[in-house]
Amino acid sequence: MPPPLADALAARAAALRAELDLHAHRYYVLDEPGIPDSDYDRLFNELQALEAAHPGLLAPDSPTQRVGGKPLGQFAAVRHRLPMLSIRTETNTEASGAENFDNRVRKELGLKESDPPVEFVAELKFDGLAMSLRYERGILVQAATRGDGAVGEDVTQNIRTIRQIPLRLPADAPAVLEVRGEVYMRRAEFEALNERQRAKIAQGAKGEKTFVNPRNAAAGGVRQLDPAIAADRRLSFFAYGVGEVTPPEGGGPAFETHLQLLLTLKSWGFPVAAQTRLARGATELIAFHEAIGQQRDQLAFDIDGVVYKVNALPLQRQMGFVSREPRWAVAHKYPAQEQLTTVVGIDIQVGRTGKLTPVAKLAPVFVGGVTVTNATLHNEDEARRKDVRLGDTVIVRRAGDVIPEVVSVLLERRVQAAAQFTMPTQCPVCGSDAVREEGEADHRCSGGLFCAAQRKEAILHYAHKRAVEVDGLGDKLVEQLVDADVVRTLPDLYRLGFAALARLDRMADKSAGKLLAALEKSKQTTLARFVFGLGIRHVGEATAKALAGHFGKLDSIMDAGHGQLLDVADVGPVVAASIRTFFDQPHNREVVEQLRACGVTWQEGEPAVATWRPLSGLTLVVTGTLPSLSRDEAKDRIEAAGGKAAGSVSKKTDYLVAGAEAGSKLEKAQALGVTVIDEAAFLALTEPPPA
């Protein structure tokens, strides 16, 4: 028999209080969040609604009667003269949530439809740690965290390390001023911090960890006993209000509006978010919410919503507070960017360049405004670092159009038998070896010419004008040929018939005829172009020419050992290993033989003896319009003379070949002291000796 309704409701309220207390302790005290903010808000709202419907369930120790967690024992306690209260959260994340708030304010103030719109200040809702800064006679004397709203923690020494926070105020500041604001960490600083942490971990440092998000890295920095650690976090601060204010004798600023207060704080040296705006009525609040939502992912720091406050301070005082929240302000959030879900599988995705990416297959979860079922794990190192395993409960994040990713694993929920992720040794698409080159994070499929996942990229590269060159074979046509399964490998290009081409969308008879003629013409090429067209990793145009000149024959290149390849100019250990890996795949050799069988041919001969290399070891850049040479012709002359043709000027540039209308490259070369020559001098440098 089920328990009476009153007992069931009391049990549910007790369970919610216990769970919220647990998560508040992990979040505020230990800096180790166990669930996303959206899950905490959902539990809090359920308890709040339960207590409102059944007042007898309301307990003095309920999380709804307090703001946050208890202060850490290591810091001195600070009792706030004025409580640091939080503000109500508008649970409707749509733009209409702003209209809901405007309607409540107008009702509270007794306004009619014919009355003018209420004036608000619209601000960002920062994702950081609330802070109160106390100034006495213009000097920063104390910084305290929010704590439970009534009592916080004295973190003055750590806050002094934040350079944005002034230590002294101008003479016109009040005798006592408490500035309320948010300590946060910029995204770039967060990434740099985690890079430093990963380096420490790689060096075997004990007790080090990476951080889940900027908010928790900032909170952890503020709560360090050693100010040097706080300084290393490179924290930032935004001001958004005041607590206690005692004017000096003779008076002080008599604030009439919240915006005036913010502008005065800014004039005293406090950072105030540039996005802060006046907004009149619901229409302008909605416009602000939508505009910031579009900018959110481009901001230098994290936000999880916006805040609306009645601008007129007399009206704020008139409206007052309800329970723990002011009636005159609201936090209007955006759809959650982090949610909990479970990993139902880990697949390997093969990109068009052969990169192998582990992807977590997720139980569907609504996050960042869409339903997410996949999240990237980036590469083997990242998957191992996060230690994502089949069956794990994970926090997944999606911000804007960014590919969803797994942020962290809740280890306490892990199935005991879950096996560690291991990268496969073969490509899941074509079965070729999956290789990871020295110094690289990614594994790659070595079956470039054979792998279906790389088909389009391989064809486009082969048809490039600097490779084998098939005029008219561009992106859209290649996409049609591959998607229609007409072309699977490069040799299929030369087996195309007029009828197959004519069936393609927007392929007229004349266009089909031109493509077939271009394919026939491309059969006559050079060894260097053909080798470049194969798309071997790290083998660019210059390296392909060096290989062709050194070996003279394709078979000699394909059969060359690692040591023989190192004898070639422009070939180092990484390039040699890549060439060897490519030709060690039977699939790739088979494609080469089929291309030969289709009639693709080139002149071969004995290995050339390089005796004339006047530009050996030199780097040249060409800019502007030369009188008689195109860019490609100039580049060919540089490489034929043994030099390197670069695209940008640097300290390593030996010569800049400048033609008409040379722009910024010429200016940079002159600033760096690079030798500048014209076409005549360049031709003299690269003119081959008489036979």
Q: If you ran DSSP here, which 8-state letter would residue 29 be given? A: I
Q: Do 565 and 579 form a contact (C-beta atoms < 8 A)?
A: yes
Which of 70, 125, 361, 456 is the catalytic position? 125
Per the structure block, which two tokens stand in for 151?
Answer: 């009592």
Q: For the beta carbon of residue 650, count every other beta carbon within 10 angstroms.
A: 12
Alpha helices in 127-222 (DSSP H): 156-159, 187-202, 214-222
Closest CA to 405 of 338, 501, 327, 346: 338
Alpha helices in 281-356 (DSSP H): 281-295, 313-319
Burial class (CB in 10 A: 0-12, 13-18, 19+), 363: middle
DSSP string, 249-262: TT------BHHHHH
Q: Between β-strands 370-376 and 434-435, what pairing exists: parallel, antiparallel or unpaired? A: unpaired
Residue 287 backbone phi and psi in degrees, to 5:
-60, -40
Within 13 Å, how many C-alpha atoms sit on residue 146's CB side?
A: 20
Residue 153 identity (one-letter amino acid)? E
- Could you tell me if residue 689 is left (phi over 0), alpha (psi between -120 and 50 degrees) or otherwise beta? beta
Within 13 Å, how many C-alpha atoms sit on residue 206's CB side?
A: 0
Indicate if 521 belongs to the active site.
no
| Residues with Cβ within 8 Å of residue 144, at least 6 apart in sequence | 78, 80, 131, 132, 134, 152, 153, 154, 155, 156
Q: Do 40 and 27 form a contact (C-beta atoms < 8 A)?
A: yes
d(CA 134, CA 180): 9
Closest CA to 648 of 628, 666, 627, 625: 666
d(CA 504, CA 161): 66
Report the catalytic residues. Answer: 125
